[in-house]
Amino acid sequence: MLNRSEKTKVGIMTCLLTATLLSAETSKPAKPVLKPIDPASIDLTQPTLFLAPYSHLDDIWRWNYPQVIRDFLKSTLDDNFAAFEKYPDHVFNWSGASRYSMIKEYYPEKYEELKAWIAAGRWFPCGSSWVENDTNIPGSESIIRQILLGRTYFINEFGVSSDEYMLPDCFGFPYSLPSIPVSGAGLVRMVNQSSQHSMAAIMPGFMKRCIQRMQKLWSGCKRTKSAPAFRLTFII
């Protein structure tokens, strides 16, 4: 059985994984869990959980490119542009340089507005890679090219870059992965959520172990180190 603290943590995680910020109806499950938390009781010496709005989108999964371009890209832009206007504190992270390139091609006017929001610090191109690629089958050169293409696009188009390798929906990683982004691309963090979110509800103490893992460094095979950051994501 989970104790009260573990139930609260699992409840918060469940809310993070299911709540839609733009819909009051779907955010209702979060209120009973978050209401009892007194900000004054927070121990600032303990690890801090930052809530970073993010929308995961596979270029190809149970849909095709025309649907991605027609529906998903447009709705991601429109929903967040509206949120920027309505909520002054709303910020947004989005990965995958490939999707930005499709926006530039198919929605040039929205792309210009997107660039303005990026310049204002409200929308941040994260993740560093062209797509959230598999890392088990491809070799090191392929992974480096993913990061090279992604970072080059973000720098050339927006004048910004990030220092994390974002793989939110990958299931498994080679032991050598920290050596690749650290020694070859200047990245210092790896972000993932698929490897642990489904375990929180069935394993007591799992959230505590996740936090402990975030405080450690993942050593690569060349004695380089990359701090894994297990990010909990919203779907906005």
Distance (Å, whole) CA 54 – CA 158: 18
Task: Let me know: does 218 contact 190? Beta carbons within 8 Å.
Answer: yes
Task: Let me know: does 128 contact 182? Beta carbons within 8 Å.
Answer: no
Contacts of 105 (CB under 8 A, 6+ apart): none
Q: Which residue has the tokens 């299931």?
A: 171
200: alpha, beta or left, given left = phi > 0 and alpha = psi -120 to 50? alpha
Q: Which two tokens stand for residue 212?
A: 């402990």
- Among residues 145, 147, 50, 47, which one has the least CA distance to residue 93? 50
The verdict on whether 43 is a catalytic residue reads no
The one catalytic residue among 58, 59, 79, 169: 169
Task: Let me know: does 146 contact 110? Beta carbons within 8 Å.
Answer: no
Active-site residues, by number, are 169
